[in-house]
Amino acid sequence: MKELEIYILAGGKSSRMGSDKGLVKITGKPMIQYLIESIGTLPYPLRIIAHDPAYRQFDLKVIEDTIPEKGPLGGLLTALTNAKGNNVCLLSCDMPFLKTETLNALITQSRENYITVSRLKDRTLPFPGVYPESLISAVEEHVVNDKLKLQSFIQEKPHQFFALDERHKLSPIEFININTPTDIAQAATWLKKNH
């Protein structure tokens, strides 16, 4: 087992959703809860990065951003600052249907001192991704200087890709981002059909 902790980013502004999206309910259950129930079976500590105290209802450690209002790169800094292990795995609450098998495969493929991020249809997805502790000073420098584009940061550092194309063909719902009320409605329809 790798020395790793998993952090779910749930502290975004959610402007397109109109409210804190991790807590928005899909068929009666908060979005983030689907993710917690799925990946909570993995043998790694699981934490939430968020400001809303309502996230404490999930009985996980909730951590506020070290430097607020700095987007996903600020979330990565918070995770690296709080982690006791050598790596952090960063997830986003708006991908609630990610499967344990997919995440475990990504973690298994990760290498020491390399960023391991997902790739789907020639697009780089920062989440799910594994980020080594050795990046902490570089991340801090970017955050402090407001260089907040996570994609650019990944490209600058040693990184490798975890291809999701085959998994996406088998289970496209796993990789949808839920950002709007329309996305919520589509996810609810899918859940009703498949459960």
Q: Is 183 annotated as a binding residue?
A: no
**Alpha carbon distance 133, 85 (integer Å):** 8
**Alpha carbon distance 51, 62 (integer Å):** 8
Q: In the structure encoding, which two tokens stand for residue 53, read together?
A: 């105290």
Q: Is 105 annotated as a binding residue?
A: no
Q: Is 11 annotated as a binding residue?
A: yes
| CA proximity to 141, closest of 92, 80, 85, 63 | 80
Q: Is 10 annotated as a binding residue?
A: yes
Residue with tokens 């986003």: 92
Q: Is 94 annotated as a binding residue?
A: yes
CB atoms within 10 A of CB 131: 29
Judged on CB neighbours under 10 Å (0-12, 13-18, 19+), 43 is: exposed
CB atoms within 10 A of CB 151: 14
**Alpha carbon distance 113, 129 (integer Å):** 13
Q: Is 148 annotated as a binding residue?
A: no
Asked if 105 contacts 170 with a C-beta cutoff of 8 angstroms, the reply is no
The annotated binding site for GTP is made up of 9-11, 21, 65, 94
The annotated binding site for Mg(2+) is made up of 94
The annotated binding site is made up of 9-11, 21, 65, 94
